[in-house]
Amino acid sequence: MKPLTYLDNAASTPMRKEVLEVMYDCMQHVYGNPSSLHEQGRKAKVVVEQARRSIARLMGVTPSEVFFTSGGTEAINTILSRCVADLSRRHFITSRLEHPAVLKCLELLTQEASIDIHYVDTDVKGHINLTHLDGLLSNHKDAVVVLMHANNEIGNLLPATAVSELCRGHDALFFSDTVQTIGKYEVLLPKLGIDFAAASAHKFHGPKGTGFMVVRSEHLFKAMLRGGGQERNMRAGTENVYGIAGMAKALEMAHEQMDADYRSIAGLKQTCINLLKENISGIQFNGDAEGNSLHTILNISLPGGVDPEMLLPALDIEGICVSTGSACSSGSIKRSAVLKALKAEPGRPSVRVSFSCFNTAEEINYFVEKITAICQSS
């Protein structure tokens, strides 16, 4: 059996041992409903509220601004639809490089609530054109700017402070999809000027199906799910107590180990870039791999000749897990919308590798060896 080389951490990450322990302990000993008034109920409530306090502290906001969700997609859908329903926003400025959870939700809102979407220009590397953003903001008052903090396919980082300054100058709200950056960087939302943020625990070694959104208190909207008083009347339904406890532990650990993890992961990414350049002639990288880019993501553009349909299965046979786009679109060989928007050459197959603190230099060597062999045999 080949050892597993897991390089798909932007899709999902393995859980940390300590997170599993917290969740297991919680499952065994904290089985009450947080809304119950007896001892077991109070115990569960304490777990949920301690997690909220811990997460709020790491985001630089108050606990009352943190709302637990089932993950990034729910947070994104809620924020966008409540901005329309409760905050009466009609103009949404976004980019064509956003996650489908943003783009599909906005498309639906154009039909349901007659909002207008305005797409900001991006350059060849996929960075936002701030001058164009400024122009769009001048023409559309009271807009919501929806731009992701780091792109999940190419890793580009957004200059969030520059964007929020433009937003402030035009009375616009700023929603950043922070799913790929929370747990990787210190994302202090007030410092960055972000009004709404979305997070997903399984991207930072926490459990799947658990996430949170941050809604700054001055833009608080109304209930997202009705039928109970949970989440201060915002999201009815019994809380995912184990998931929430695991997520808080995962985020605390991500912050404790952030500097060391950054150094080791950035080192792996650079090693991967160097080895690929040495071994595969004509290799390119989509996005801004060696510039303003997330250390955990590398999007490789292979020379023409490699069969895109064979690439993933060929790597899979070698025990290597990577992605050709976002996880939601893998499984079908549909060309990535992000690469299309970047006008990447259609004849060049692309592979997204994404690293975590659990990867090693040996794994990078192994991946480069196998992908080089695939290129040579094509």
211 binds ligand PLP (CB under 6 A): yes
105 binds ligand PLP (CB under 6 A): no
101 binds ligand PLP (CB under 6 A): yes
Which residue lies nearer to ligand PLP by CB, 152 or 264?
152
> What is the per-residue DSSP string for 233-257?
HTB-S---HHHHHHHHHHHHHHHHT
Which residue lies nearer to ligand PLP by CB, 189 or 306?
189
243 binds ligand PLP (CB under 6 A): no
Give the residues across from 225 on adjacent strands.
235
Report CA torsion sign: 79, 80, 82, 83: positive
Which residue lies nearer to ligand PLP by CB, 157 or 283?
157
Which residue lies nearer to ligand PLP by CB, 30 or 181?
181
Which one of 13, 94, 122, 180 is in contact with ligand PLP (CB under 6 A)?
180
- CB 338 to ligand PLP: min, Å: 11
Which residue lies nearer to ligand PLP by CB, 58 or 103?
103
- Taking CB under 6 A as the rule, which mask of x and - marks residues 63-82 in contact with ligand PLP? --------xxx---------
- Taking CB under 6 A as the rule, which mask of x and - marks residues 323-352 in contact with ligand PLP? ---xx-------------------------
Closest CA to 71 of 203, 184, 209: 209
Contact (Cβ atoms closer than 8 angstroms) between residue 223 and residue 236: yes
94 binds ligand PLP (CB under 6 A): no
Q: Tell me, what amino acid is at 189?
A: L
Positions in 139-178 near ligand PLP (CB under 6 A): 148, 152, 177
Inter-axis angle of helices 361-377 and 258-279, to 10 degrees?
30
> What is the per-residue DSSP string for 264-302?
HHHHHHHHHHHHHHHHSTT-EEES-TTSSB-TTEEEEEP
Active site residue ranges: 328
Positions in 286-315 near ligand PLP (CB under 6 A): none
Contact (Cβ atoms closer than 8 angstroms) between residue 176 and residue 197: yes
Coil, strand, or helix at residue 56?
helix
- CB 150 to ligand PLP: min, Å: 7
200 binds ligand PLP (CB under 6 A): yes
Element (H, E) at 225: none
Measured between alpha carbons, how far is 160 from 162 in angstroms, rounded to an integer? 5
Contact (Cβ atoms closer than 8 angstroms) between residue 26 and residue 242: yes
- CB 306 to ligand PLP: min, Å: 25
Residues contributing to the site for ligand PLP (CB under 6 A): 71-73, 99, 101, 148, 152, 177, 179-180, 200, 211, 326-327
